[in-house]
Chain A
């Protein structure tokens, strides 16, 4: 069964820094990988979805990469802002219905003003 790990569980950095969030997975046979952010008391907001055939996706200051051979995805946030403070989760779909959808526990990010 797919296992998804996000390390660190929490991260605090000063405003303006570029940072990388990590998502590791054990089974490289995936259809896609999605990055979400979750604000307190809110649902998940989809940030980027990378298909299995893609290496990266970009949206504004965000860039997500996928390396299936090493079982890793990274979310790069450029020029971080206090508004980026949230919990960031990755989710993988490996096929086979509900059993194939696996979420990480998330990285709680705090951007200090």
Chain B
């Protein structure tokens, strides 16, 4: 079975540019999470979707970040404009039922903002 698929794997861009990260969850999973991981702060949950609807976006750092899930098989995380402090590894994860079932992670997007 295909796991969670994220693209791109690596992204290097200049400050001020728009960045779009993509995620395809596991088929049949109704919950999708976006995380950010840094050495300083560890793993942080940014936003949680259930049945394509954003349920909790309290972890989104500021208005420069936005996330969408237009259908059950695709989600995007957009940063506009990007800043050097956004540099991190961004993970997407999916589960069968929210926080109550195991979460399955993609391999992440390593984002570097110069």
Contact = CB atoms under 8 A, between A and B. Distances in A.
B41 to A, nearest CB: 10
B45 interface: yes
Contact of B43 (A31, A100, A103): A103
Which of the four size classes fits the interface of chain B? 20 to 34
Contacts of A42: 107-108
Interface residues of A, number: 22
A54 interface: no
A100 B43 CA distance: 14
Given A43-B105, A44-B43, A89-B43, 16 more contacts: A32-B99, A32-B100, A34-B102, A42-B108, A43-B93, A43-B108, A44-B93, A45-B105, A46-B102, A93-B100, A97-B56, A97-B58, A98-B56, A98-B58, A100-B99, A103-B42
